[in-house]
Structure 1
Amino acid sequence: MSLAKTALIAHTQNLDLVIRHVLAGLGHGIHAGRERGAGVEFSEYRAYAPGDEWRRVDWKLLARADRYFVREAERDSHVAVWLVLDASASMAEPSRSVEQLDKLHYARMLLGCVAAIAQRQGDAFGLVVLGEGRVQFTPASRGPRQLQRVLAQLQRAEPKGELPDADTLRASLHFVRAPSAIFAASDLLDWPSPLSQALTRLRQMRHDVRVLCLQTQAEIDASFSSALAYRDPEQRAGVFRFGADLKEAYRRNREEHFAAVTAACRKNDIPLTVAAIEGAPAEVLRRWLRRPGGRP
């Protein structure tokens, strides 16, 4: 996807429309990298809703009732999909080349895509939004209505405050019971952190944990303007200018920080996908869904 198309997506406020655009570039049959049970038993019919796959439409029932219905099935696998969104203040960091695009916008878009895929596969899925020192929780459920609930919550998420503390996150881990696939999107600027500890604990509980680390291109190549003043949105420290004298130290500190993040994820068997928000969303999503050493 070109930079122009990424900019077009950034200017589109309809999250559902953006998700359809991104998933159209992936084709069909994408799995969120999980092993599934082979047995599928028919459960019930329900009315067709936008986002349902046409292959699930019962054409014989259409001929009799003159309405579209899809077949719901109960799967042998009880894997739930959990979406974890870092909505702390640092996620408001904008792209310097794509207007109206920031890290939170990009994270909401990709998590929405994962939710849409889970809905297509018949999985239960839920959402956890972390910001302002608290946890906002949408219980896991199935179906198109659940997708709309999750998309609405994603749309309402705003980058504010800090991540919840360790005690708050630990108390919130009850949302993951049965084997689950956990997709967490963050900029990982705070590491180690209560979030990293929670994700590590979930992985030790044998859940499938996938982490997406989002950065701006300016953060990656230290191309911040020296004419502007900057302030850490999660700290009360003063403002500073990003002069040439700071760039080398910034690059060194950044390299050390993310080397530690990568090493910790590798040690705990947590697949880490690092991406610039200016990149093609479909390609980033494809990499995030891909199983280590395999295909999506």
Structure 2
Amino acid sequence: MAQTRDLDLVIRHVLAGLGHGIHAGRERGAGVEFSEYRAYAPGDEWRRVDWKLLARADRYFIREAERDSHVAVWLWLDATASMAEPSRDINGIDKLWFARTVLACVAAIAQRQGDAFGLVICSDGKVEFTPATRGPRQLQRVLAQLNKAQPLGGLPASEVLKAHLHFARSPSVIFAASDFLDWPSPLSEALQRLRRMHHDVRLLTLRTQAEMDASFRTGSAYRDPERSTGLHRLTGVDRASYRAQSRAHFDGVVRACRQSDIVQREACIEQPVVEVLRCWLRAAGGSGR
């Protein structure tokens, strides 16, 4: 999986591994009501064609349906420079690869369930949106944007993010993937504000195994990619202090999420994607939504 950039292939592999623990199929019958007809477009499912209308109009039309809940799914990707941190154990994997892969799988589940879904990307001080809508073509748009994301710069300013929160006017579920090395931050403030607006907010905190157990090579020099503060060297004496400060930071993230009633899960990017995805979705309610 680490050697391919074909998100379609990765999604098929991961969702096949979810088994029966999460229902990812489209729900039909009760709770789904007819909304309108629209013209057939390449990629639409043939089972949604209205064959009786075809016989009368000699054209293909798709029956659109709406759910009673009208909940939109939003995927929020942190694509700042720190997300370029690679695994020291698995070639080809970094935090951004893992984040985009997990979010792509959530998008595929939303598409299969008939939910509207959109994408928010924070990178290089900017915010980029893909508006929420339904269907297989939307999935391809979202995957294309996820593939294009590059780990650059820092987070947008608080004012910038606050001005863009209009995207979640209707009830929404927000899946946000980041390393959350900055907390509090403009990103954490925006997510907490969305929760206060009664949206369902679910965070995935990503770390490398080296970050979790301080298994960096002794004497190696590191530079913060989002700040020009010089080089930092980690010696054997520093490891205990690093572990303590790191754990204190992420314990603070957990406490803040609990206080805000935000679902939060921590994952190591060396873990199997299917394992992390199953844990994240079940922690959020076990329905795959």
- TM-score (normalizing by structure 1): 0.86
The answer on whether the counterparts of 1:181 and 1:209 sit within 8 Å (CA) in structure 2 is yes
Partner of 2:43: 49
CA distance in 1, matches of 2:123, 2:41: 36
CA distance in 1, matches of 2:228, 2:132: 37
CA distance in 2, matches of 1:72, 1:20: 25
CA distance in 1, matches of 2:24, 2:169: 21
- 1:38 aligned onto 2:38: no
Matches within 5 A, 1:134-145: 134-145=126-137
Deviations 1:4-25 (A, max 9, x none): xxxxx11111111111111111
Q: What one-letter code is carried by the residue in structure 1 that aligns with 2:77? A: L
Q: What one-letter code is carried by the residue in structure 1 that aligns with 2:270? A: E
- 1:168 aligned onto 2:160: yes
Deviation at 1:60, TM superposition (A): 7.0
Unaligned runs of 5+ residues in structure 1 are 1-8
Unaligned runs of 5+ residues in structure 2 are none
Indicate how the Cα distance of structure 1 residues 284 and 69 shifts in structure 2: closer, same or farther if over 3 A, else same.
farther
Deviation at 1:38, TM superposition (A): 2.0
Q: What one-letter code is carried by the residue in structure 1 that aligns with 2:85? A: E
CA distance in 1, matches of 2:268, 2:80: 18
- TM-score (normalizing by structure 2): 0.88
| Number of aligned residues | 278
Deviation at 1:57, TM superposition (A): 5.6
Deviation at 1:238, TM superposition (A): 1.3
Alpha-carbon RMSD across the aligned residues, in angstroms, is 2.6
CA distance in 2, matches of 1:90, 1:266: 25
Partner SS, residue 249 of structure 1: helix
The answer on whether the counterparts of 2:24 and 2:112 sit within 8 Å (CA) in structure 1 is no
CA distance in 2, matches of 1:59, 1:71: 6
Indicate how the Cα distance of structure 1 residues 231 and 107 shifts in structure 2: closer, same or farther if over 3 A, else same.
same
Deviations 1:160-210 (A, max 9, x none): 000011001000101111000000000010001111111001001000000
Q: What one-letter code is carried by the residue in structure 1 that aligns with 2:129? A: F
Q: Percent identity?
A: 59
The answer on whether the counterparts of 1:43 and 1:74 sit within 8 Å (CA) in structure 2 is no
Matches within 5 A, 1:252-291: 252-291=244-283
CA distance in 2, matches of 1:171, 1:58: 40
Q: What one-letter code is carried by the residue in structure 2 that aligns with 1:114? A: V
Q: 1:128 aligns with which of 105, 117, 120?
A: 120
